[in-house]
Structure 1
Amino acid sequence: MKMFLPVLLCLCFWRLDGGFVSVKEGESVSLNSDLTEMKDDDVIQWWFGDENTVIAEINVTADRITVYDDVLDGRFRDRLKLDNQTGSLTITNTRTEHAGDYHLQINRKIKSFRIFVIVPESVMKGESVSLKSPLTEMKDYDVIQWRFEITLIAEINKRADRITVYDDVLDGRFRDRLKLDNQTGSLTITNTTTEHAGVYELQINSESKRFWLAVFDEVKSVSVKEGDSVSLNSNLTEMKEDEYYWVQWRFENTLIAEIDKWSDRITVYDDVLDGRFRDRLKLDNQTGSLTITNTTTEHAGDYKLPMITRRLSSKVFRVSVYDSVHCCGPTEAVIRLVLSALVGVATVIIVVYEIISRRAERDQAHIHTSGSIEI
């Protein structure tokens, strides 16, 4: 299927102006065209992947709307929905094979997105967690590799009849904690600590699957009287000028405030959720702590704090708001380890993983082009 000529001119200059989008496996994700209404002469195409395979298009002039959901071995079959007013695209019932780069061309304008389809997992500190391979039984030619961030931690090579666990890497944080299932390739981490939180990538031959693991070691219950203020403490004392920090505050799964030292940006999104936080959020630009003023009962709920400093960390605060008549003291909250609670924080982790991976690939390429290294 032919692509528009501008695509050929822009292949080396993709910009992710549509941004990074994270979705939990099995859920739907929408890519917004930013159009409110299509014009009579508009032509829209959506492409996916490195090969820029056309998966959907709208030609208003020809009055034609087409979804090519049988391409790429049918991975998009019955999953694509095109908005005939705006050209926006929705992928339903996502799987890890739908992760990747999506490009939208509206006439001569191009917009690009990167979707991460994640499998969120969670565990309390000290417990075990299993990251499941999709295989029921490995074949004689299968090669499986597990990576934490970009570091190889375990592999099975059926061709060589070899099973290896590299539990001494990364200063030994996985020592005596990794168990590989030699039938399916699934990985179990025992006696987890917060050092084990992050992105795990499973590569089976040429296919890959990503997990984001949250290890909760701190869940704090906070109670506040309606109308009063409440402060949620990040436990940072200061953000040093020469170090990178990325702090996000989410109410349930909605981003309400963030500090991105990389971009030198501090933002409060107080108009989300029908404006319930409007003029109520105060973000400390030194510590990243968040204060909610003039609280009401609609501010009660779970506040998630994913942070990237020298390490990845996450906290959950459960805030209850009571009135003066029905006063209740703080009680110990039992964390709800539901998978949907992880999707909001996963974007940060996955983006950082992507940056680290690309940096490693660039460094490796530099080594190859610099000649051989004598040891």
Structure 2
Amino acid sequence: MEGDSVTLKTDVTDKQGYDKIEWRFGEERIARIKGVNGTYYDEVWRFRGRLQLDHTGSLTIRNTTTEHTGVYRLSMKVGNEDIPKIYRVTVYAPLPIPVIFIDTLQSSSSERSSRIYLCSVVNVRHVTLSWYKGNSLLSNISVSDLNISLSLPLEVEYQEKNTYSCVLNNPVSNQTQHLDITQLCHTCADSVHYCGTAEVVIRLVVSALMGVAAVAAIVVLVYDIKSRTGEKRPDINLRQRSIRY
């Protein structure tokens, strides 16, 4: 997970006998031990201040981020012989909590005896999104490399009272959202509540109408003030004319 530390071990007990130990991330050299001259860390910005080599040449990366995902290559030189090793590291971002809402477009038909729920997450990668009925897996969908949004539908009979849950997981963590089918729609204040799309649209429309009403009131007020001012101007002009003549 992001923020964790990871150690890539050389599997040696002592650096004595090794002429050189060198670490690379992709094609970039990031750290090395050379003879008795000491330890060196190359100025690679994504690793700055995060690397540590111990006396065996094992490499620790502290406070990892997803930018540290990739292939690490170890080269140990013993005499004229190079001993290579390859490590593949994947750092996972924290998982969001899935959001469950009613698919009003699919559930609105009067002929339906069931309701369609959608479990959705946004901007995820290397994850699986699943629906469970109790402990039984009903369906799932997975994504690998790209950051995308996922939605997975679930059809539930109106009078059904089984326990359902939506689970988002990757190889190191998971997030679960439970479906309470007795509650039609709660406030959308945070992601742990369920909200039908119809209510969301109504709230947006009401907010927009209130905004229009406020603007209209301001326009009417300004127009009224201008009208009152305009009514007084002819008297002033008459006085000015009477003075001249």
Pairwise TM-score range, normalised by the shorter structure: 0.3 to 0.5
For the pair shown, which has the larger CA radius of gyration, 1 or 2?
A: 2
Query: TM-score scaled by structure 1?
Result: 0.30
Normalized per residue, the structure richer in helix is 2
What TM-score do you get using the length of structure 2 for normalisation?
0.44
